[in-house]
Chain A
């Protein structure tokens, strides 16, 4: 074996004829000094680097409280067209934190997707205006019964499924619920082409096939689960 052919060196510096070696010493004092100086430097640098990086990266892992926002009375929303409503996505940043959401009543003939457990009584569909290509704001064109994006020509059908252009998945939706005759909008969720619900993803991130594994969900934002609404 190659290792055996090498001349074995003693681990003691005294045996290796290093000048000034102490009896029983295995690391020279010069080497020990170098290592400890480097180590102290590394500790000092990480003392400010690690907190700074953590400070910058922290928001990714921050939990966001889900809120339900009132958008109108139940009878405002027909089941054959959408009513645009303004909701607040981010507080305290003025107009930049607001977004439009398109709301309609569920239509048994169109909406054949199965509602998940504990959401069996969801009666309203709330569609996000965030285009699933790169996030521009889509608008609903009633004459065409399509959502159309002004930036790169994404087109979605009445249910928000992709019917043309570059978008990679249907338009995001929001959870809805009814309280005292008022419709309320909850957290965002994403859907794949079969309208299965996923936790919210960014635009451009496909959810069909291998896409759901290539674009992992956020550790801090989950899909609503049983019993939460």
Chain B
């Protein structure tokens, strides 16, 4: 049988991305795959930005003018936020092993410390990080107070900061019970009873925290839910509002810098 000579089917056109690039204007060498790889980042960002217009807000957030005299004290807020992020991330991973039931909580905490790989380290980061966060919150608050940075127009940011402080304290209080050893059990009994000493509403508040008149089967899971769901959500949202206002209003100059007089204005007077 003689070989049948068929005409070659037409080659489909290459997709645009694979077709050879035209020569660059100016007669440089043609684009190599290395050049394409170098521009991949820009291309991806450009692709997202073309569809979201996010680069404007991102620039607005990140490239801000700061007053003269800005110093290391101004990093306390960021430090607090990093402490919060540390708590959030280590907390998520601790939750993978932790069991908030009165009969298993201590055992699961012991397992994290003694047996889980890097468990002692992650738990230590969470435990010591909580103290670090509280300390940083207060240092940040002191900086704001002594630099007068709470004054007009930043009062609302001070108020949000106070709510964040209270939420941080709530995190400390609810987190303290979770290891479920003698210290955390009795500290929680005392803490709940302190809440109960408030006149009129106190008895209802302590019953709400304990889920009943006695420290019972659901008290621990209640604290756990407050600690890892309720308060962190509120904290994250309020940190967002806090950062928005910082960006919107800018930071203050330290109080030891005098306001500069406009030099042109001085010449006019003279």
**Chain A: residues with CB nearer than 8 A to chain B?**
56-57, 59-60, 62, 64, 89-94, 96-97, 134-137, 151, 200-205, 214-218, 220-221
Q: How far is the CB of B207 from chain A (nearest CB, A)?
A: 4
- B216:A90 contact, CB within 8 angstroms: yes
| 30 residue pairs bridging A and B, Cβ less than 8 Å apart | A56-B208, A57-B208, A60-B207, A60-B208, A60-B212, A90-B215, A91-B217, A93-B216, A96-B102, A96-B180, A96-B215, A97-B216, A135-B189, A136-B189, A137-B186, A151-B186, A200-B213, A202-B192, A203-B196, A204-B193, A215-B199, A215-B200, A215-B202, A215-B203, A216-B203, A217-B203, A218-B207, A218-B213, A220-B213, A221-B213
Secondary structure class of chain A's binding surface, majority of residues? loop
- The docked-state distance in angstroms from the alpha carbon of A91 to that of B212 is 13
Query: Is B168 an interface residue, CB under 8 A from the partner?
Result: no
Count of CB-CB pairs between chains A and B under 8 Å: 82
Q: Nearest chain-B residue to A151 (Cβ)?
A: B190
Q: How far is the CA of A97 from the CA of B217 in the complex (A)?
A: 8
Q: Name the residue on B nearest A57 (C-beta).
A: B208
Q: Which B positions have Cβ atoms within 8 angstroms of A?
A: 102-103, 180, 185-186, 189-190, 192-194, 196-197, 199-200, 202-204, 206-208, 211-218, 222
Select from chain B the residue with minimum beta-carbon distance to A214: B199
Q: Quick one: which of A93, A97, A220 has the most chain B CB within 10 A?
A: A93
User: Taking CB as reference atom, which chain A residue is nearest B196?
Assistant: A202
Please, which residue of chain A has its CB at the minimum distance from the CB of B217? Answer: A93
Across the A-B interface, the 10 shortest Cβ-Cβ residue pairs: A93-B102, A204-B197, A202-B196, A214-B199, A59-B211, A134-B190, A60-B207, A135-B189, A135-B193, A134-B193
> How far, in angstroms, from A200 to B202 measured CA to CA in the complex?
14
- Cα distance, A94 to B190, chains bound together (Å): 20
Which residues of A are found within 8 Å of B212, using beta-carbon distances?
59-60, 62, 64
